[in-house]
Amino acid sequence: MLRGFRRPSISGKDGDDVENNNSMDYIPLNIMMGYSISEGLGYKKERTLSSIVFEKYSVWTKNYYLFMAFLQSGIIACAADIFTQKMEGAVPIDYAHVLALLSVAAIASGWFNALLLRRIEAAYPGSGTKEVVMKAIISTLPLGGAINAMYLIGVPLLRTTVFAEEHRLPPLDADIIFQGWTVEKFITLTKIECIMFLPYHSLAFKMISLQWRPVFQAGMAGVFSIAVSAVTLGYFNIWWDILLDFF
Q: What is the pLDDT of residues 107-138, one digit of tens each?
A: 998 899 889 988 998 999 888 889 999 999 99
Q: Is the pLDDT of residue 12 over 90?
A: no
pLDDT of residue 102: 95
- Which helix (H) or strand (E) is 18 found in, with range? strand 17-18
Closest CA to 194 of 137, 110, 112: 137
State residue 45's pLDDT score: 54
User: What burial class does residue 116 get, using C-beta atoms within 10 Å of its C-beta: 0-12 exposed, 13-18 middle, 19+ buried?
Assistant: middle
Buried b (16+ CB within 10 A) or exposed e, 212-242: ebbeebbeebbebbbbbbbbbbebbeebeee
Radius of gyration of the chain from its Cα atoms, rounded to whole angstroms: 27
DSSP letter assigned to residue 163: T
Which of residues 49 and 144 earns the better pLDDT score? Answer: 144
Counting residues of the chain whose pLDDT is more than 90, the rounded percentage is: 31
Q: Is the pLDDT of residue 5 over 50?
A: no
The more confident residue out of 238 and 88 is 88
Mean pLDDT of the chain: 79
Structure confidence by residue, pLDDT tens digits, 17-74: 444 444 444 445 444 444 444 444 544 556 788 778 778 877 887 788 889 889 988 9
pLDDT the model gives residue 3: 47
pTM of the model: 0.71
Cα(207)–Cα(128) distance, integer angstroms: 11
3-state secondary structure of 10: strand
For residues 172-184, give the mean pLDDT.
90
Residue 168 pLDDT greater than 50, yes or no: yes
Please tell me what DSSP assigns to residue 17.
E
Distances from the Cα of 201 to the Cα of 78, 150, 221, angstroms:
24, 20, 12
Specify the pLDDT at position 115: 92
Q: How far apart are the first and last CA of the chain?
A: 56
What CA–CA distance (Å, rounded) separates 109 from 154?
A: 12
Least confident interval from 2-11, 160-169, 193-202: 2-11
Helix ranges (H only) for the chain are 29-34, 37-40, 49-63, 65-87, 95-104, 113-123, 129-140, 142-160, 174-177, 183-207, 213-233, 236-246
Provide CB contacts within 8 A for 137, sequence distance 6+. 198
Judged against a pLDDT cut of 80, whether residue 103 lies above it is answered with yes
Which position has the higher pLDDT, 15 or 124? 124
CA gap 231, 181 in Å, rounded: 11
